Amino acid sequence: MASSSSALSRLSNLRGHLHPSHSNKGGVGFIKISPEVSEALSNGYAVVALESTIISHGMPYPKNLETAREVEAVVRENGAVPATIAILDGIPCVGLSMEELEKLANLGPRAQKTARRDIAHVVATGGNGATTVSATMFFASMVGIPLFVTGGIGGVHRHGEHTMDISSDLTELGRTPVAVISAGVKSILDVPRTLEYLVCTKLSHVYDCKTNEFPAFFSETSGCKVPCRIDTPEDCAQLIDANLKLELGTGILIAVPIPKEHAASGRLIESAIKRALEEARDKNIIGNAATPFLLARVNELTGGASLASNIALVKNNALVGAKISVALAQIKERENKGGVKTTL
């Protein structure tokens, strides 16, 4: 009975997600915001949201904890405040302490991989959830963080025309006004079909950063062109600002190629991906278990080369994302000093 009462209490508090009260210091509705992130948001400082699935499911302990700390450090070194997002003991958290990061890293895959659809269940049961792109975007938007950094987004899985296995990341980009900085789509997926799904269905605006070709996560190029290119953090910030002011209600995907010196051999990676896909099919590994399995197996087959590239691209995305966030904060600061809010 006590367990049922607790679940009902948690579910009733979920109303705060739909009608959040901004009067709660250190929290919005039922969300716990760290003091550092809360102060930054209150003062209009640059804040960068970070997902937590990469910590729990992306790599083993203690490499996951080390990487999480390093990525947060990159954000801080470039003038922004990192806000890693996760659900801990049923509480959605925006901004994790070092102790909370360590808890999540130690939990590893025991933390539930949490997309938007899973949030209510994880909260209601008092569980621990590592947020994917969709859940991280959801919480970031709710507390007013307009920019989010990840490694690569999910998309249409290979043979998705038969399985209909399409990541909820794409749906979220179509309904949540948060800019996502990534190294494109994870190359274990069907990159051309993912771009077609995003662009042709008008779900999201897709832009390449300093390149004319859409990156493929582990490598700089995918063979796919994107119609729009932006070259500076200031240009990206202007784009995000316009999207928010116009209240278009959709996200923006800004694709940043992995630095050349960290790019893995395309042929080596593709060969490993094909073998990993065959193994996943033979073992009937599907749904949200597929991506963690494939990434881990590709890392094994490439002798760790793919993991090293993954870490490098996440840090690079954090650097770019922090610079964009700072430029966006400067736009807001200029408007506030001028006493006039620009509208479009």
Catalytic residues: 51, 186
Write the DSSP symbol of residue 272.
Answer: H
Contact 182, 317 (CB under 8 A): yes
Under 8 Å between Cβ of 344 and 245: yes
**Strand, coil or helix: what is 191?**
helix
Which of 71, 273, 335, 292 has the alpha carbon at shortest distance from 181? 71
Contacts of 226 (CB under 8 A, 6+ apart): 195, 199, 206, 207, 208, 212, 213, 214, 255
Amino acid letter, 322: A
Q: CA-based angle 244:214:320, to the nearest 5? A: 55
Q: How far apart are the first and last CA of the chain?
A: 54
Environment class of 198 (CB within 10 Å of its CB; exposed 0-12, middle 13-18, buried 19+): buried
